[in-house]
Structure 1
Amino acid sequence: MSLDPFTADNTAMLLIDHQVGTMSWVRSIPFQQMKANALALAKTAKAVDMPLVLSSSMEQYAQGPLLVELASIAPKEFEARIQRLGVVNVMDDENFAGAVREAGRKKLIIAGVTNDICTVYPTLTALLLGYDVQVVADAGGSPTKMADDIALRRMENAGATITSTVQLLAELAENWTSERGAKIIPHVMGLMPQQ
């Protein structure tokens, strides 16, 4: 694992299966918080020209469609999303793995809708392939807190860095007074608690 910072220039963002049906099964984090965090990641990737790869699984079944907001945030990526049928580990889907390779980055930010299924397996695969990985824990969740804790521990033990949305956005900003920092600030502020 490299300790070099993750930047918009060396990193790609993978958002895995943020579908309305699957999101409704998560209980370890409030739905609206998870949704806001996932959308903030997509908005930030677009704002700083970071490669963004989207996926979905079995949209016509209980998992439901991908968040409709992603279509307006990242229309090209939404249209090109990797739609798979039944493959659990999205990195086992050659179309998705190919899109990750085409991004040309050795550092990956991974946020999956369910940390205990959608996030854990592609993270383990990416680590085996030599990628540096940060998992954004609060842009997904699990049906129980125990399942979430176990998944996060498993990924961390394998070499992934576990982070939060705001922590990651601050890392990508590098300097709030820079051009890049100014593009990220609105997405951070949008996640701050309102009084």
Structure 2
Amino acid sequence: MPPFIADLTPIAQERVVCAISAAVKYEVPANIVLAVAEKEGGKPGQWVRNSNGTYDVGSMQFNTAYLRDLARYGITANDVAAAGCYSFDLAAWRLRMHIRNDKGDLWTKAANYHSRTPRYNAVYRADLIRKALKWADWLDAHFVTLDVTKADTTPSMPLQPIEVQRVTQQTPASSPVSSPAAKQASVRSLSQKNYVPRSISFKTGD
């Protein structure tokens, strides 16, 4: 396991590893999945009752309303509540469906994970963007990434050597970058009006 992940707490390790794995599997921008995971802030075995009688379950607070369509595949709420990457896979699958099928811009679609009601969506959307920008910089610092909106784009290399970008156990998952270089990168990102989500590239060149 890379040192910048191994130094995280067990819960943060699961969140980062599972979110990135699910993002790659379902072709959803990794920083969006990481941002949603941070915003939801759930834990294995957690059940939160909503006012409409549904529950938000597990690490990704997956709403049980979506399980009605998944029941035919044998997927239950207990599966979603369990520890491990399964709930992240379901969340990435759901984000993929929102991004592909819903109306609005990318961020509004992603915020539909929380709510389609405009006033709730807008609040979630604004914070999701802030968190996604931060996670994009973290990904840029540690992985080869691609701008998902541009064809034939050249992969960007990590901003700093991995050894310099170590994340300590004292660094909470809500603040994935702490080095001066990473903080400067975050400021650069926040100043870019057209900053877009990024995916991870596994292409190493010829």
Normalising by the residue count of structure 2, what TM-score does the alignment of the two structures yield? 0.26
Greater length-normalized contact order (CA 8 Å, ≥ 6 residues apart)? 1
Q: TM-score, normalised by structure 1?
A: 0.27
Bigger helix fraction: 2
> Which is richer in strand?
1
